[in-house]
Every structure is written in C-alpha cells, then in structure tokens.
Homo-oligomer: A and B are copies of this chain.
Amino acid sequence: MARAAGVSESTVSRTLRDPTLVAEATRQRILAAVAATGYVPSYAARALASGRADVIGVLVPSVTNHVFTDVLEGIYSGIEGTGFDIQHGNTRYQPELEEGLLRVFLSQRPAGMIIAGVDQTDTSRRLLADAQCPVVQIMDIGPEPVDMMVGFSHEAAAHAATRHLVDAGYRNVAFLGAQMDPRTLRRFAGYRAALSEAGMFDAGRVETTADPSSVTAGAALFARLADRCPEVDAVFCNNDDLALGVLFEALRRGFDVPDRLGLCGFNDFEFAAASEPGITSVRTNRREMGRRAVELLLGRLDGTDPAARVVDLGFEVVARRSTAGRAAMPA
C-alpha cells in the first residue's frame, strides 16, 4: 500500500488518521492509491499499536424487547459522527452470560462500557470496576454506581402508576408481570407499597409468568386472573405488551375499559397512544437515556468530570382513557 503510493507507511497512516498532517499532493496520491487498491486498514493492528479501540461496548438483556431497542436507538444516535463504534452484546437476562460477554468485551479494551441494570454479579461488578474505561449503568438507578448511572426509579414509577389507578376510583387493583427480572420486581414493590398505603393490597390479585412479556401473555394472564378474582376492577401491567393483551381479552369478555376495568401499562410504547381506548402508561425517556449514557461516556473521555454520577431521568404517568372509568363515579 505504502509502496503503491510511493510513500512510507507512516505517511499513509497519518493520511488516514488525520489528513491535515500531510501535504495536499501527497494526500491526493495516497487517497487515490487507497481507492484503487481497495485497501482497508486492520482494526486489530491499529488498536494494538495505538492502545485505543474507539469501541463502546453495550450490554443489554434482550434485543427483542422494545424497551432496550429504544435505548439502543438513543445510543446509536448519540454515537453518530463521533468516530466511535458500538459493540453490542445480548445477555439474555442471564447473569452468567453477562459475565462472559463482559470478559469478551473488556478484552477489546473498549473506550467505554454501557450496561443495563444495576444488578450485576459480584464478579461482573469487579470486572467493570477494574476496567480501564468509564462505565455507565442504564435503565435503573441505585445507591452504588460502579461508575456512572442514568435511569429512573422503577419502584417510584410503579408507585405513581398504581396511585393513579387508586385516585381514578378503582378499588381492587391487580398486578400482571412477566419476565420477572430485577426491574420488574422493583415495579412490583412500588405497586405493593402504593396499595398497602391505601389499605388495598391483596396478594391474591397478582398474576405473573417468567416468560418474556408479550401481548399473548397479557391476555392469558388476565384470563386467569379474571376467572380467579372476578372482583378485580383495574390492572397494572408491568409492560404495555401485557396491557394490550389485557385490552383484547377484556374485549372478548365484554368488559368495558375503562368502566368495568381500569388498565394501566408501563413504558408508554408507541401503540399505547394509538389504541382504542388509549392505554394509560408510564413514559420513560429511553432514547434520551441512551443519548445521555453516551454523553456521560464521551464527557469522561474528554476529561470532563460529570456534574453527577447518577442521573435520574424520571418518568411520567400518561393518563389516557383506559383509566378514566371510576373517577366520576360515586366511590
């Protein structure tokens, strides 16, 4: 390659890394030769020689759950034009897999790591803490960031959503959950706390599955719940998928939403606003979360120390017709 352009290796290297370091004419000649030969520099050699990888590792538990794909979107858009690449791994909700992937990723000496959740194994935490790169935990917040965090409190969000159902006049509020990962469990805790405070908690009105969240699962869980607890007049779903399934199952059973049944989902997926009736949900700023995670990482790499190590992006209960039912009615 260097020979093809009649210059030394170093000049080619310079041209490719920072064209301004090279004289116009030389640059032209080199770029022409690169185009002609279809030369593509070796990433491994560059990484080894420079000691930098320009890769940001991203570890999430699922690639099919919209919750994470939205965050990924945010990360991709935040990274665009920065010269960094994303290396993306799928931990499939398995801590051991996460640990393994973490090792693989760290062996690439990434410029930074973004990892979902705050519930890593001890080993994973240590690997992250020892990593010679900034780390951002996303999706959740907690008291002990490995390094930085950007997320929101799932417990507080679920508490607010449940409270909204109570305020809307519903009295027998059930909980539907899937996957049962740590964030789901924290949402359940929020639900439970809100109902306990209102003196309305009933452990029987809970239906869950370890399967992934889906519309089908929502319908099935609600069918079981409705058969078992006919007195239930509202459902808080751990995910909008489930809520949509409940909506369809309610339709099949002739339960009016929101009159006979109040319905609240979580995550405010796009369809929640478009459905009929609209489904009340909890909006979380997932794209923003991805962008901020990248921002924190890049900031640290620039030497800027972040204002805060833990960024709480908050949430918002978006009330729609699915919970409009009992508000106007006599209690």
- Chain A interface (Cβ < 8 Å from any Cβ of B): 38, 40-48, 53, 63-64, 66, 69-70, 72-73, 76, 85-90, 92, 103-104, 106-109, 126-127, 130, 214-216, 218-219, 241, 244-245, 248-249, 251-252, 270-271, 273-276
**A interface, by DSSP: helix, strand, loop or mixed?**
helix
* Docked-complex contact A275 and B215, CB < 8 angstroms: yes
Min CB–CB distance A70 → chain B (angstroms): 6
Between-chain CB contacts (< 8 Å), 30 pairs? A40-B103, A40-B106, A40-B107, A40-B127, A42-B48, A43-B107, A44-B47, A44-B48, A44-B108, A46-B107, A63-B69, A63-B73, A64-B72, A72-B90, A76-B90, A85-B89, A86-B88, A86-B90, A87-B88, A214-B271, A215-B270, A215-B271, A215-B275, A216-B270, A216-B273, A219-B274, A241-B271, A244-B271, A251-B276, A252-B276
Also in contact, A63 and B66, with CB within 8 A (given A40-B103, A43-B108): no
Q: Would you give the shortest CB distance from A66 to chain B, in whole angstroms?
A: 7
Residues of B within 8 A of A214 (CB): 270-271, 274
Q: Is the CB–CB distance between A63 and B76 below 8 Å?
A: yes
List of B residues within 8 angstroms of A108 by Cβ: 43-44
Quickly give the copy total for this chain.
2
CB distance from A179 to the nearest CB of B (A): 14
Taken together as a complex, chains A and B put the C-alpha atoms of A281 and B107 apart, in Å, by 44
4 A-B pairs with the lowest CB-CB distances in the bound complex, closest first: A44-B47, A215-B271, A248-B276, A215-B274
Instruction: Give the distance in Å from the alpha carbon of A59 to the alpha carbon of B271 in the complex.
Output: 27
Chain B contacts for A64, CB-based, 8 A:
66, 69-70, 72-73
When the two chains form their complex, are residues A107 and B42 in contact, meaning their CB atoms are under 8 A apart? yes
Q: Are B127 and A38 in contact (CB under 8 A)?
A: yes
- Among A40, A70, A103, A241, the one with the most B-chain Cβ atoms within 10 Å of its Cβ is A40
Q: A48-B48, A216-B271 are in contact. List 20 more A-B contacts (CB 8 A).
A: A38-B126, A38-B127, A40-B107, A42-B48, A42-B107, A44-B45, A44-B47, A44-B53, A63-B63, A63-B76, A64-B66, A64-B72, A64-B73, A66-B66, A69-B69, A87-B87, A214-B274, A215-B270, A244-B271, A252-B276
